[in-house]
Structure 1
Amino acid sequence: MDPTSAMAGTPAQREKGTEPTVAIAHDYLTQRGGAERVVLAMHRAFPEATIYTTLYDPERTYPEFRAARIVTSPLNRFPGFRRDHRAALPLLAPAASALKVPADVVLTSTSGWAHGFRTPGRVLAYCHSPARWLYLTDQYLGDSRRRSAKALALAALKPFLLRWDRRAAAGADRYVANSSVVRDRIRAVYGLDADIVHPPHSVDTQGELEPISGLEDFVGDGGHFLIVSRLLPYKNVAEAIDAFRGLDERLLVIGAGPLRARLEATLPQNVRLASHLSDAQMRWAYSSAAALVAPSYEDFGITPLEGGAWGRPTIALRGGGYLDTVVERVTGTFIEHPTPASIRDAILAFQPHEWDAERIRTHVEQFSEDRFREWLRSAVREISGRALRAAG
């Protein structure tokens, strides 16, 4: 599709009161995660908005995106890049710079690329984190950081990518952080003061429940522990799996990513791994869980809210975005280090009867999509008002 068709109206038309055109920009739509959930919430707030992204794989991300008009970069012609966006690393900055977004206001959902898309309009950058591969490189690469081809390529590209990233960030009209820790990172790496607006959860506890095929007997009547996470080194899923070895407890891991094959090869009998589930299957997994386990380094950490919508507590790493979403002894408990021993101790100490499901649900209501949508629409009115005054 010709992306210029997304533009409706000229500055003169806008001065006469025509609504500003709104577009949504996101790094890549090739996976299922919290950032992609935020894009869906943005699109529900502005259902006529075109979504611009470097890569789009409808089979690997949420099916709801099929209802949207999506414009991609030329990189999307290559199936290998859609399967693994990390393989496109040397090309993503040029591709992002070349992707034009012809709209009055661009809602940018970014963790490294979309804030660099070109547009004549105003940019509201909603930041999930400054690029983790640039500013938290060791955490991003994990055990492979010194010897892998990816690590060597990133080291060679890093000086260029740092200049590109900081220039792109400076081009936004307003920067918004999804959590306290991300606000601090934005200030540290970009020198920008960002407001904090927490992303919403989008759990529908009234929706249909669909058992995960092959796991009916494993889950049984529930009471299992649950991890919902991308399978990346800094998510510490391997450490959590190790913590369950030999325990008389069950762990269900839901996620996909580069570590999947390695994790599957060594799963103990009391752990199962599932990927690419429907919302109905996710509801089934959450609704019958005893608690969430969240040992990762998260920028926001939405899974405690998703579990909390069902009244389930979370065992979380004390740090990052979990400090914004978990209230100690009310909605969850913390571990100090993401080690198998620390996670194991927390599992053994967990007592289901100590948690008040209604208090947990009440806390989660603060993170509703309705509140997020109201903020989005207000922010667009404000930033487009500035555009109109500047045009006049």
Structure 2
Amino acid sequence: MKVALVHDYLTQRGGAERVFEMLCQRYPDADIYTSLYEPASSIDFGDRAVFTTYLQQLPQASRYFKLLAPLYYSAFRALDLREYDLIISSTTSFAKAVRKRPDAKHICFCHNITRFLWDTQTYLREYTAYRRFLPLIEQIFRAMRKADLAYAQEPDVYIANSHTVARRIQEIYSKPAHVANCPVDSEQFDFSPQKEDFYLASARLISYKRLDVVVEAFNWLGWKLLITGDGPERDTLEARARQNVQFLGHVSDAERKQLMSKSRSVIVMALEDYGLVPVEANVSGTPVIAYGEGGVLDTQIPGVTGVFFNSQTPHALYRALLKAKAIDWNYHRIREHAVSRFSKDAFFQSIDSVIAEVCGTG
């Protein structure tokens, strides 16, 4: 069976890209396709070929890849994948549009529906410079929504990374979806039952992550908070933070895993579609204090692996922090839960089961 693996674009390295890398490792003989590829900023496949679209030839395309949004559907439609028996797309937006032979199968691992089209107001909070173009953007997005709905019918089967995303796929695309929670490579993280006197937030510094709320709560408490990551909100957040809040910017993988294992808790304020950070924290033996909506409902057990709060406000986080501090956490149990539920083996058992069902190989 000849297999193609397709991802939206490989111009950054986030949770979706880490999962796609695992898929590529799982299928070492599969051909890899994407619209744009920048190995210095994303996954380095070494000598393995990565096939791209015509967008790769545009000057500065990798730098301004989000501005090319109206072109991605046509770029993926132009790919010739007729030689493949199975296509596995990994997408938050465009890769699901690829075409296949009538007798071939297309399984779409969907990290989310196309968020900027279906939750435009939230998306544009990250790009305030473009808000003055909203009337024009809305016209373009209206046409793109029609295309998104049409191309969402291309895959034979959807696999969602969380029950939250599965519900969105059903509501927007009218397609049922299996659920396979994204895995974490536990060998890439350290475990420590000895915690130090600091809390950790690890996220891109963009508005929907709501780190402004986290900073405000820690300003009140005076507890030590370390924030890793960078983004357009950094200057604003730093200006609001008191001395107990430190911004570390981008840190090495080695430093990040040490911080994960040593922190008292990892704070997650955003409504995440799935969110690897909470699972990474748990694999490190660290509890999570999280806004109780979205993907954390799939990954956390209140009182065992973390604490939920029900609104994105400093008061709600403040109360959750005090509650978490009073709990006698079993750090070994936190890790065991994550390793058993969110391992690569558990993930690929789910994926392989779907492939066997769809392709009739079971």
Q: Shared fold (TM-score greater than 0.5)?
A: yes
1:227 Cα offset (Å):
1.7
Structure 1 residues 202 and 84: alpha-carbon distance in aligned structure 2, compared to 1, 3 A threshold = farther
Distance 1:206 1:306 in 2: 7
CA contact (8 A) 1:127 1:176 kept: yes
Q: In the alignment, what sits opposite 2:76?
A: 96
The alpha-carbon distance between structure 1 residues 264 and 55, as it changes in their structure 2 partners (threshold 3 A), is farther
Change (3 A) 1:311 1:143: closer
The equivalences for 1:42-191 within 5 A come to: 42-63=23-44, 65-66=45-46, 68-78=48-58, 80-101=60-81, 102-120=83-101, 121-142=104-125, 148-149=131-132, 151-191=134-174
- CA 1:229–1:81 in 2, change beyond 3 Å: closer, same or farther? farther
For each residue in 1:150-193, what CA deviation from the matched residue of structure 2 results, as whole angstroms up to 9, or x when unmatched?
64443121121111111111010101111111111111111111
Distance in 2 separating the partners of 1:259 and 1:78: 29
RMSD (Å) for aligned C-alpha atoms: 2.7
Q: Distance in 2 between matches of 1:208 and 1:149?
A: 47
Tell me the amino acid that sits aligned with residue 116 of structure 2: W
TM-superposed CA distance for 1:276, in Å, is: 4.5
**Count of matched residue pairs:** 355
User: Which residue does 2:267 correspond to in 1?
Assistant: 293
The one-letter amino acid of 1:384's match is C
Give the letter aligned to residue 82 of structure 1: S
Alignment of 1:370 with 2:345, yes or no, is: yes
Give the counterpart letter for 2:52 in structure 1. Answer: T
CA distance in 2, matches of 1:150, 1:358: 51
Deviation of 1:294 (Å): 0.6
Q: Whose relative contact order is higher, 1 or 2, with alpha carbons under 8 Å and at least 6 apart? A: 1
Cα distance in structure 2, aligned partners of 1:73 and 1:31: 17
Change (3 A) 1:295 1:85: same
Mapped contact 1:297–1:317 kept (Cα < 8 A): yes
Q: Residues 204 and 28 of structure 1: is their aligned pair in 2 closer, same or farther, counting only changes over 3 Å?
A: same
Deviation string 1:294-314 (CA, Å, 9 cap, x unpaired) is: 111111122111000111100
What's 1:12 paired with? none
- The 1:149/1:258 distance shift into structure 2, 3 A limit, reads farther
The one-character-per-residue Cα deviations of 1:195-244 (angstroms, maximum 9, x if unpaired) are: 111111123256799xxxxxxxxxxx833212222333222123222322
Unaligned runs of 5+ in 1: 1-19, 210-220, 387-392
- Cα separation, 2, equivalents of 1:68 and 1:230: 29
- Is the Cα contact below 8 Å between 1:141 and 1:233 reproduced in 2? no
Match for residue 199 of structure 1 among 182, 190, 195:
182
Larger deviation, residues 128-137 vs 232-241: 232-241
| Equivalent in 269, 276, 281 of residue 307 of structure 1 | 281
Distance in 1 between the 2:262 and 2:223 partners? 14
Which moves more between the two structures, 365-374 or 376-385? Answer: 376-385
**Relative to structure 1, is the Cα distance of residues 150 and 98 closer, same or farther in structure 2, using a 3 angstrom cutoff?**
farther
- Identity across aligned pairs (percent)? 33
